[in-house]
Structure 1
Amino acid sequence: MSDLFRRDALAVRDLLNAGEVTSVDLVHAASARLAAVEPEVNAVPTLCLERALEQARAADEARRAGSHSLLGGIPIVVKDNNDVAGVRNTGGTSIFRNRISESSDRTVALMEANGAVVLGKSNLSELGGAQTTNSVHGATRNPYDTRLTCGGSSGGSAVALATGEAWLAHGNDYGGSLRIPAAFCNVTGLRPTPGRVPRKRLSDPFDTIFVEGPMARNVADLALFFDAMTGFDQGDFLTAAQGEPCFLDAALNPTRPARLAISADLGVLAVAAPIREAIEGFAATMAQAGVAVRREAPAVGGAMEAFRTLRGESFFATWEPLLETHRAQFPEPVMADILRGRDQPGRAIVAANRYRSDLYRRAVDFLDGNDFLVCPATQALPFPIETLFLTEIEGQAMQDYLDWIAITAIWSMTGLPTISIPIGFSQTGLPIGIQILSHGGREADLFRLAAWIERELALPKAPIDPRPAA
């Protein structure tokens, strides 16, 4: 089947279970697609295809013996800041250019136990930010216009999905890293409730801003992969045994919401005109479908000051041991975060945590009355790949490299689950996405709603060939 890369993950899982293809066939199909596409996009710079073939053969043997896993041998990519046994893990920094992982970390090990076959490591930003470029692997290009960025930091994963290099992709999210590249590349991403997905080893195991999560081409595939990522792991005390039906069942049962709160800018943020127009069109579509649309959002003024403080504290705790020997290898904006964490007074941290608690309470109270909040997943369209971050949006100056991702970073602080899905394209053909926020633990409801929106909008989801500069 020469078009296997065009099939979605559920379709190839059905082919696997029916015996019409093997996992080895899928690895060969992915390998051919990677060879054809990678020179144009640089999404998966580290490959482990021999390892993938070994995993695929084992998956095929298990299936023939009557043993079935959730994924059954579907090839995936893993973001290059998680450990895959025997594979290089650079973290997107020259500090770790030659680091080889001895074993798969807890996140990856669970996915592999549930039938994931790892093709390689997807590209990411250098230690932070939302532009997928770094000193080890260079930049990853947006397949909708290879002159532009794919966002980040899980940008390589989004591009691998959009171009058909893999059927499913892993990512993680601190300030928007699962949601921004999904929106820039016409795919889906889920930032889950902390504790849903076991996390890799962290400097602070008590942190609830950093999460691991899935990315996929459509909502059902996203739910399938999420099922393969969730569960209890004794190495992450936030996790718990799952006590609800599988998330794929939720995605396969789309549900129209009674009401939606929709905000184009959360009342305070700069948002590009094409995205505002898309949000207005989306709100009109929802209203025409019988959904009660409310144009409101919780108050978020001052949120980014708190986010910067907490990010600084986290970055300093993580990277301080390497500063003396590797200071010159940290990008300037990341170093600014580290130094902020080193130098900020204790009262700033107290104030940031107080703000975070208040924001969480406001968001929960708001969702009690609205069920869901919809807002853009990005404040701008994809921008030139040479630009590390935007300095202004619609004439409004951005304070630093974080300001242009405020619309995702704000919700990261709440710990509430957020799903990112496409809603259309700009007049220049660039993808536009939304994020949908709900109460903690309500991922199933997010999948039902997102699947219904996906069905209503009926946007193209098939992989594309990279579109070079005109």
Structure 2
Amino acid sequence: MDELWALDATELADRLRRRDVSAREVVAAHLARIEQVNPAINAIVTLDGEGALKAAAAADDALAGGAEPGPLHGLPIAFKDTHDTAGMRTTYGSPLFAEHVPAANTLVVQRIEDAGAIRVGKTNVPEFAAGSHTFNTLFGVTRNPYDPTRSAGGSSGGAAAALAARLLPIADGSDMGGSLRNPASFCNVVGFRPTPGRVPTVPTDDPWDTLGTSGPMARTVADVALLLSVVAGPDSRSPIALDEPGATFRAPLGADLSGLRVAWSPDLGGLPLDPDVRAVLAGAPDVFTGLGAHVEAATPDLSEADLVFRTLRANAFEIAYGATFDEQPEKFKPALAWNISQGRALTRGDVGRARTAWGRLYTAAAAFWDTYNVLIAPVSQVPPFPAGWEYPHTVDEADQHSYLDWMRSAYHVTVLGAPAISVPAGFTPTGLPVGLQIVTRPRSDLFTLRVAAAFEAATNHGRHHPAL
């Protein structure tokens, strides 16, 4: 596959900088691919091909005139439809914002465009990014490129499906309960939830929030690092922003894992797990052993993770959407209305107890990281499920009572405040992708990428393309 749309972002970026290919050619190739494939998967829901080609022509002219190319020069991207894009419709997957056109970019969009990427459109999301299955009443369901009868995950499901289908070489996303990691696992791509503050969230109504964060998604770990190098870095408007510059992530990713202490948690302390997922991931510890690491079974204390995450998430949803819900409740999907009502039922004591529990959990995790360098675990408790479902109602015969229940293997890791990446780890007997979650100590994002790159190089599961 030597078509331009099939190339990884790092190779495309190198060719563009050397002027072996033009931005016009690269963007045109991806637009043709979108026209051919997107109708089958519904990953990109807003498209501006004409505007993208004009921007590509301007990028070519600037390079010919001697301008220094940015790290993402000429690479096409469609932004997640929860990230504001100046002059381009941003709906948040909600009928309330069906015609909403922001006046300004969010920080992550601005940084990507400043680095030379070419905006072609927006990728699909669930309503207000609530849930890890991408569907809404505006645009419908996003389907999995490996099996269009299956979910692409969410909330960055449009982004993951677009990457897997070779519609885009890079994609932005965000993650609170697994919204970068779950769709990456479902679509056999790489999704990275960085340490909170690594990619500042600007603007935001809650600048102190560390549950949610933006982050990069791509088909390889190197491509994720390339995008992270652009979106990471401090911003004075964010009180939790980390000072380390984004350029740090352009360092080589080669790593020797000899002597690494790896904790293998096949079910994160007893979560129900689909037998196919369990079987696919059973070989992951042997990969790390073969790379020279010492692997043993261990899990951090996550006994209070449900209390922490679900309380603080519900509180955040009520603050963000409660007033709008009161005005037009019929415009909200039932699961989102339920989550808002959960937030309304909380007392100040409930929120205080959750924050205190979070402190205990984080302190216990710090001791865990003193013993282990890496935690490996499932990303998702299930393989991609039928696209017609709202969510799986059982996992290995265990009932799942809400749209959040089946996502515990992702959101239990969220509350650790640690960088976590989903890397392709294999396929079920029916050909559905399964990802491995690699987690390391908070703020060790570059180390996480290096460990993930070593696993990727040893397995090459990401090189298995969907047969579209």
Q: Sort the TM-score into its range (normalised by shorter chain).
A: over 0.9
> Where do residues 433-444 of structure 1 align in structure 2 (5 Å cutoff)?
433-444=435-446
Partners of 1:283 and 1:61 lie apart in 2 by: 50
Partners of 1:243 and 1:14 lie apart in 2 by: 22
Matched, 1:48 2:62: no
Which one of the candidate residues 254, 264, 278 is aligned to 1:262?
A: 264
Distance change in 2, residues 1:390/1:102 (3 Å): same
Tell me the alpha carbon deviations over residues 294-347 of structure 1, each in whole angstroms, 9 at most, x when there is no partner: 111112124213211111100010012212222111111111111111121222
Tell me the alpha carbon deviations over residues 14-35 of structure 1, each in whole angstroms, 9 at most, x when there is no partner: 1111111111111101100000
Q: Aligned residue for 1:225?
A: 227
CA contact (8 A) 2:456 2:462 kept: no
Matched, 1:67 2:63: no
Amino acid at match of 2:249: F
Distance change in 2, residues 1:312/1:297 (3 Å): same
Q: Aligned residue for 1:149?
A: 151
**TM-score (norm. length: structure 2):** 0.96
Tell me the alpha carbon deviations over residues 125-149 of structure 1, each in whole angstroms, 9 at most, x when there is no partner: 1120010001111000001110000
Distance change in 2, residues 1:84/1:400 (3 Å): same
CA contact (8 A) 1:187 1:461 kept: no
Tell me the alpha carbon deviations over residues 170-214 of structure 1, each in whole angstroms, 9 at most, x when there is no partner: 000110000000000000011011111122422211111110000
Partners of 2:232 and 2:462 lie apart in 1 by: 28
Cα shift at 1:85: 1.4
Distance change in 2, residues 1:290/1:234 (3 Å): closer
Amino acid at match of 2:305: A
Q: Secondary structure at the match of 2:429?
A: coil
CA contact (8 A) 1:192 1:418 kept: yes
CA contact (8 A) 1:79 1:124 kept: yes
Partners of 1:312 and 1:241 lie apart in 2 by: 30
Q: Secondary structure at the match of 1:246?
A: helix
Q: Secondary structure at the match of 1:146?
A: strand
CA contact (8 A) 1:63 1:72 kept: no
Partners of 1:294 and 1:389 lie apart in 2 by: 33
Distance change in 2, residues 1:176/1:460 (3 Å): closer
Amino acid at match of 1:58: A
Matched, 1:140 2:142: yes
Q: Aligned residue for 2:333?
A: 331
Distance change in 2, residues 1:222/1:315 (3 Å): same
Amino acid at match of 2:81: D
Q: Secondary structure at the match of 1:147?
A: strand
Q: Aligned residue for 2:422?
A: 420
Amino acid at match of 1:306: V
Partners of 1:279 and 1:435 lie apart in 2 by: 10
CA contact (8 A) 1:2 1:29 kept: no
CA contact (8 A) 1:132 1:152 kept: yes
Cα shift at 1:465: 4.0
Which one of the candidate residues 365, 368, 371 is aligned to 1:366?
A: 368
Cα shift at 1:13: 0.9
Q: Aligned residue for 1:85?
A: 86
Distance change in 2, residues 1:306/1:70 (3 Å): same
Q: Aligned residue for 1:123?
A: 124
Q: Secondary structure at the match of 1:52?
A: helix
Matched, 1:12 2:12: yes
> Where do residues 342-421 of structure 1 align in structure 2 (5 Å cutoff)?
342-421=344-423
Amino acid at match of 1:319: Y
Identity among equivalent pairs (%):
35
CA contact (8 A) 2:154 2:179 kept: yes
Cα shift at 1:408: 0.7
Partners of 2:352 and 2:156 lie apart in 1 by: 30
Partners of 1:299 and 1:232 lie apart in 2 by: 31
Cα shift at 1:254: 3.3
Amino acid at match of 1:22: S
Unaligned residue ranges in structure 2 (runs of 5+): none
Partners of 1:92 and 1:57 lie apart in 2 by: 31
Cα shift at 1:155: 0.3
CA contact (8 A) 1:76 1:118 kept: yes
Cα shift at 1:398: 1.3
Higher relative contact order by CA 8 Å / sep ≥ 6: 1 or 2? Answer: 1
CA contact (8 A) 2:424 2:462 kept: no
Partners of 1:256 and 1:371 lie apart in 2 by: 10
Q: Secondary structure at the match of 1:153?
A: coil
Distance change in 2, residues 1:383/1:226 (3 Å): same
Q: Aligned residue for 2:22?
A: 22
Amino acid at match of 1:223: A
Cα shift at 1:66: 3.6
Q: Secondary structure at the match of 1:214?
A: strand
Q: Secondary structure at the match of 1:319?
A: helix
Distance change in 2, residues 1:338/1:460 (3 Å): closer
Q: Aligned residue for 1:38?
A: 38
Computed over aligned residues only, the root mean square deviation of the Cα atoms, in angstroms, reads 1.6
Cα shift at 1:244: 7.8
Cα shift at 1:240: 4.0
Q: Secondary structure at the match of 1:308?
A: helix
Which one of the candidate residues 310, 313, 329 is aligned to 2:312?
A: 310
**TM-score (norm. length: structure 1):** 0.96
CA contact (8 A) 2:75 2:169 kept: yes
Q: Secondary structure at the match of 1:45?
A: strand
Q: Aligned residue for 1:187?
A: 189
Distance change in 2, residues 1:105/1:426 (3 Å): same
Tell me the alpha carbon deviations over residues 390-420 of structure 1, each in whole angstroms, 9 at most, x when there is no partner: 1110111113111100111112122211111
Distance change in 2, residues 1:297/1:244 (3 Å): same
Q: Aligned residue for 2:292?
A: 290
Amino acid at match of 1:13: A
Unaligned residue ranges in structure 1 (runs of 5+): none
Partners of 2:13 and 2:96 lie apart in 1 by: 39
Tell me the alpha carbon deviations over residues 206-246 of structure 1, each in whole angstroms, 9 at most, x when there is no partner: 11111000000001011001101112223323224425863
